[in-house]
Structure 1
Amino acid sequence: MLRALIGALLVLAVIAGVVGGVIWWRTKSSAQDDRRQAAASFVTAWEKGDRHGMWEALTPAAQARAPEVDFAASYRRAYRAAGVRELRAGTPGDEANGHIAVPVVVTTADFGELRGTVQVPVKGSKKDAGVEWDPMLRLPGLRAGEAVHKRSGTPVSRGEIIAADGTLLDATALGASIAGRPGAEGGKPTGLQRIFDDRLAGHPAERLLFGKRVIARTKAAKGRDVHTTIRPALMARAANALGDRLGGVAVIRPRDGAVLALAGLAVSAPQPPGSTFKIITAAAALEDGKATPATTYPVRTAAVLSGTQLRNAGGESCGGTLTESFIESCNSVFAPLGAKVGAKKLVAAAERFGFNEEPRIPAAKPSTISPPSKLPDDLAVGAAAIGQDRDLATPLAMASVGATIATGGVRAAPRLSRLQKRVRKRAVSTKVAHQVREMMLGVVRSGTGTAAAIPGVEVAGKTGTAELRPNSSDPKDADAWFVAFAPAGRPEVAVAVMLVGAGFGGTAAAPVAREVLQAAL
C-alpha cells in the first residue's frame, strides 16, 4: 500500500515537472515571438524610412533613453553624412544571445553600397518586448561611440549647359530662363541646373568615416556638360515673331519630342485651347467609331446641348462632312460629337495626348482637362470637346498634340536633352492619325488656317479661337491659337502659337506659326 502511494506520488511529480517544463517552454517561445515581431516591425519601418514606426518598435527603456525627436535626428545626421538613398533589409534571423541578425544593404549617392549584418538587440515580452536600440544600428558596420562623417577635398569645376549649336544656353536671356541658375534662393538650383544638378556639379574626392575609421573613398569627378535640344537662333526667331504681344510659342521635333524653341508663355500660363482641341476630339470620335471623315452633319449656326446653345465662333453656318466641319472649325458639329464620345473616352483621349501629365520641362505647368466626374452633362462634355469648359493648355502641350498626329499617332513626351529618357506611347491608331492629318491639311489649304501656308511646303494645321468671355464679339475677349506641323509628309517640326486676347486664330496666330515654321525648316 505504501509502495503504491509512493509510486503514485512519483508519477504525479514527473507529470508536474513535464507540465511545468511545457509551460516554461511555451512562455519562453511566446516571449521570443514577441521580440522577433518587434524586430520585424523595426526592420520594416527602417526600409520605408518610417522613423516613427522604428521608434514605436523600441522597448520602453530604449524610448526613454532616446526620445523620438533625438532618435530621428540621429538617423538624419548619419544618412546625410553618408548620402543614403535607399536601404534594403533581408529577413531577420533567429534570436541568439538576445540579438537578431538582419542583413542590410545601404545604397549611397557617392560611396556605392554599404553591406553588413546588423545585430538588432531585443528584450522583454508581451507589450514590453522591443528593440533595445543603440546608435550602432544606424548603419551597418558602425561601432559603439562612432559618429558618421564625410570629408571632402578641393571643389571641382561645374559642367555647362550647352545649346544644340554648341553655344552656352545661358548666353541669351531666353536661354538663361531655361538653363536656370546653379544656386538660386536658398542655394537651390533652378531650371535645367536643378534637373541635372548631380551631373553638372560632379563631386570632389570624398571619404566616409565611422569615427576615425575610413569606410569608403571616392575619387574626384568633374562636373559634366549637359547638351540640350534648344536652337538659340530659332528661339530668337520665335520671340521676334511673337513680338511684344502677350502669348507663347513652342517648337517640337515630332519623332523624339525634342524641344527646339520656347518663347513667351510657352510653358507657364495654361489657357483654354479653343478649337485646337478638336484635333483630340476628332481623333477620339474616329478611334471609337462614332464618326468617319465622310459622316455628314446639319449645316447650322449653333448646337443645343442640355438646353443651352453653343454657337460657332463667328456665328457662321457650317456643317457637312466631318472633314468639312473640321476644316471650317464648326462648334455646332464638334460639341455634340464630343458629347456622343462621352466624358470618359474624351478625357482618356486627352490624357493619351499628354493632358493631366506632369511635364519634364523646367517651370512647365501641366495642361488639364476636367475628370469625367466634373463633366456631368452633354453641355459640359461638349464644351470640353471644343477646348472650352475648364480645358487649359500651354503651347508646349498643344505642339505635342500636333506632333502626335505628325508621327502617325505615337506621342513622344517633350524633353530638353537626350539625357532625359525618350518616352513614346501610342495615342491613336496610325489610320486615325492619318485621317486627322488630312483634315489638318485641309485647314491650311482652304479652311480657317490659310494664313499659315508656305509655298512649296505642305503644312498641316488647326486654328483655335478660345472665348474668354461667352458670346462676346470683341476680339480681346478671345485667345488666338494655331497648331501646325510640316512638311506634312515627313514632319520635321511641330509648332503651337497662343496669343492672349488676340481674337481669331486664323488671322492672328497662323501668320506667327508660318514665320516660325519657315525659320525652323
Structure 2
Amino acid sequence: MPEPSYLTSPRRRGPRNGVRAVAAVGVVLAIAAGGSYAAGLGPFARGDDGPDPAAMEQARAFLADWSAGRLPSAAGRTTRPGPAEEVLQSFTAGLDIEKPKLTAAKEAEEAEDGTLGVPFTARMPISGLGTWTYESRLPLREQENGDWKVDWRLSLVHPRLSDTEKFRLEREETTAPKVTDREGTSLNGGRYPSLAPLLGRLAGDAGGGPRGAVELVDRASGEAVRTEASFGEKPDPATDQPVRTTLDARWQAAAEQALAKADGKNAALVALHVDNGEVLALANTPSTGFNRAASGTYAPGSTWKIVTSSALLLKDAVKPDDVVDCPKYLTVGKEFHNVETSEHPGATFRKDFMESCNTAFISLRGKLDDAELGEVARTYFGVGQEWHVGIPTYDGSVPVPKDQTEKAASMIGQGRIQANPLIMASVTATAVSGEFHQPSVTAGNENGTRTEPLPREVVTQLRGLMRGTVTDGTARGLADLPGEVGAKTGTAEVSEDQDNNGWLVAHRGNVAVAVVVEEGVTGGGSAGPVVHSLLSAVPEDPA
C-alpha cells in the first residue's frame, strides 16, 4: 500500500482572519525492530557508570546532521534511512522550519525495549512566526556488528507524531493596519517611497504582526486535535484601526520631489511644526534602507551656529551689532578658515552669522566654558536627551571638548558634535519659537525631556539673524520665496578624501525645515535648491 502524502491541501477560513493551511507533516510507517540487540547486555553493562560513548556520539551526530540540514546523513544513522529521510524532510520543510537547534541531554537511560534513550530539546524556528520548543527522546539500538544506530520511529521526531496523528502549520492571512497622514489620507511606499521602510514598523507596533499555529491533526478526518504552539497576538477589534501619523501627505509628496534637486547624492529632509514638533515630512534619497533623516550621525557644520549664537547671547557675551572681526584664517592648534577663504574685516556679529564666518565664531570660544555649549544644547534645545518620536532616532551628542582645538571646532558645528536633519529642524523650531517640543511622528509618545524656554530677547535676536541670512547672506537663494523666511546655511567637513556635506535649515510661518546633502560641497549650493523646491511646492502652512 503506498505511503500517504505528507502535505495536505491548503484551507482558508475567511477573508480577514482566514487561515492558510501551509503544511501537514507525518507518515504512516510500519515500525520495525531494526536490527538485533546483544541479548543480556544492556548499554550500561560494560563495567562503567554511563552509556556507551559510541551511542552518545551517534545520538549527537544525528542531531547535528538534522540541525544543519544534512538530512541524508542524519537518515543514514538510523535503522530505516529511506523513511527517515522522507519524514525529516517533510517535517522540517513542511512546517517552514529554519535552522533547527537540537540539543542532546547529558544523561541517558535504558528503555524496556532494549534501546538507549537520549532525551533532547528541539528548538524549531518557524519562518516569520517564532520558535516552537519541545522535548523528545532519541532511541538508539546496538547492531550485531557493535555499531549504534538511531532506532527509527515517528515519535522521535516529536512525541505526538504517529501513524494516526500528524502536524499542520496554519498561518493567518493578516492585513496590517493602514497607516495614514494627519488628515486620514492613506500613506503607502509606492507613492511615498521614503516612508516604505517605516510603514511596516508603524503598522507592526499597532498589532499588525504575523500570526499562526502548529496544530496536531487527525490523519483520517483532518480535524485539529490540539494546538501545539501559537504565534502572534490576536488584535483587539476596538484598537484594530488605521495608524494615524503626524505626517502631511502634501508636504511628504513635496519633500520626495524636492530631493530630486540633490542631483543623485545621498540626502535627507525633515519638515516639522514649530509650535508642537509634529513631523510633517521625512524623506531620504535613496529612499530604501537607512533613515538618514532621523537616525543619521552628521557634523551639522555652520547650522550649529544657531546653538552657538544662543549660548553667546544668553550670557550677553556678544550682541548682534558688536564688531567681531572675520579674518581669512585663525590658528587654534590647527589652521581654521572660512569657506572659499573669505574675509570680512570689521564685520559685526550679525554679519558674521549671515556670512557664516568660522574664524569670528572661533575667536569667541573664550566667552564660553568648555562644557557650556553642550549644556545649552541640552537645556534649551533638548539635544542629547532621549527622544520618543514614534520611530527609531539618533538624538544628538555634544561632548565636552578634549582641548582648545576641539573647542574651536565645536563652535562651528565640527569636532565631535553629531546631529541629523530631525535634530536640526527641531533646533530651528526652538530658536524661532523659544520653546523645545519633542518631535513626533505618532501621537501619545512618552516624553521624558526636560528643557527651559529661551528668553524672548534671544529669540528675537535669533530670528533677526536668520532673516538677514536670507535677505543679505549665504541663504540668498531663498529670498524670492513669499513669506518671512529665515535660514542658516552650513558646510561640514567630512574627511580629506570627501567633499564637504551641504546643510541648510529654514523656517517659514509654523514650519521648520532641515536638509543635508552628502558631499554637496556648500549648503547654499546643494541644500538650498532642495529647501526652495519644498517651500515653493507647498506655499501655505498646514493646518
Counterpart of 2:280 in 1: which secondary structure?
A: strand
In structure 2, give the amino acid aligned to 1:433. V
| 1:327 corresponding residue in structure 2 | 354
Q: CA–CA distance in 2 between the matches of 1:456 and 1:220?
A: 47
- 1:197 aligned to 202, 206, 209, which one? 206
Report how far residue 425 of structure 1 moved.
3.8
Cα deviation 1:291-316 (Å, max 9, x = unaligned) = 111221123112222x3221112211
Whether the aligned pair in 1 keeps the contact of 2:328 and 2:338 (CA below 8 Å) is yes
Q: Does 1:245 align with 2:254?
A: no
Are residues 175 and 386 of structure 1, via their aligned partners in 2, closer, same or farther at CA, if it must alter by over 3 Å? closer
Aligned counterparts of 2:475 and 2:355: Cα–Cα separation in 1: 9
Structure 1 length-normalised TM: 0.59
Partner SS state of residue 350, structure 2: helix
C-alpha distance after superposition, 1:360-398 (max 9, x if no partner): 3455442433422xx132221110110110122111110
Q: Tell me whether 1:417 sits opposite 2:435 in the alignment.
A: no
CA contact (8 A) 1:453 1:514 kept: no
Q: Is the 8 A contact 2:179 2:199 kept in 1?
A: no
Q: 1:256 aligns with which of 270, 276, 281?
A: 276
Corresponding position: 1:343 with 2:370: yes
Say if 1:443 and 1:163 are closer, same or farther in 2 by CA, change over 3 A.
same
- Indicate how the Cα distance of structure 1 residues 277 and 226 shifts in structure 2: closer, same or farther if over 3 A, else same: same
Change in Cα spacing, 1:416 to 1:274, as seen in structure 2 (3 Å) is same
Q: State the AA in 1 paired with 2:519.
A: G
Question: In structure 1, which of residues 470, 483, 498 is the aligned counterpart of residue 505 of structure 2?
Answer: 483
**CA–CA separation in structure 2 for the residues paired with 1:449 and 1:391:** 23
Question: Is residue 506 from structure 1 mapped to residue 524 from structure 2 by the alignment?
Answer: yes
Q: What residue number does 2:514 align with?
A: 496
Computed over aligned residues only, the root mean square deviation of the Cα atoms, in angstroms, reads 2.8
Give the corresponding residue for 2:418: 392
More helix, by proportion: 1
Amino acid at match of 1:463: T
How much has 1:220 moved relative to structure 2?
Answer: 6.1
Residue of 402, 419, 440 corresponding to 2:466: 440
How much does 1:513 deviate?
0.8
Residues 1:492 and 1:498: Cα distance change in structure 2 (over 3 Å): same
- Aligned partners of 2:257 and 2:438: how far apart in 1? 26
Question: Superposed, which structure 2 residues align to 1:51-450 within 5 Å?
Answer: 159-170=177-188, 172=190, 173-174=192-193, 176-177=195-196, 179-181=198-200, 191-194=201-204, 196-197=205-206, 221-243=238-260, 244-264=264-284, 265-305=292-332, 307-318=333-344, 320-352=347-379, 353-361=381-389, 364-372=392-400, 375-407=401-433, 409-420=434-445, 425-450=451-476
Structure 1 gaps, min length 5: 1-153, 182-190, 204-217
Partner of 1:76: none
CA distance in 2, matches of 1:220, 1:235: 30
Task: Output the CA distance in 2 between the equivalents of 1:248 and 1:331.
Answer: 24
Counterparts in 2 of 1:343 and 1:192: CA distance versus 1, 3 Å = farther
Tell me, in whole angstroms, the C-alpha distance in 2 between the residues paired with 1:500 and 1:278: 19
**Contact 2:326/2:357 (CA < 8 Å) preserved in 1?**
no
Worse overlay, 449-458 or 430-439: 449-458
Encode CA deviations 1:329-379: one digit per residue, 9 max, x unaligned: 11111123234212211011122323223343455442433422xx13222
TM normalised by structure 2 equals 0.56
Q: Is the 8 A contact 1:354 1:397 kept in 2?
A: no
Q: Secondary structure at the match of 1:511?
A: helix
Equivalent in the alignment of 2:168:
none
Corresponding residue for residue 53 of structure 2: none
| % identical equivalent positions | 30
Residues 159 and 336 from structure 1, CA distance in 2 versus in 1: closer, same or farther, beyond 3 angstroms?
same
Change over 3 Å in CA distance of 1:219–1:389 after alignment to 2: closer
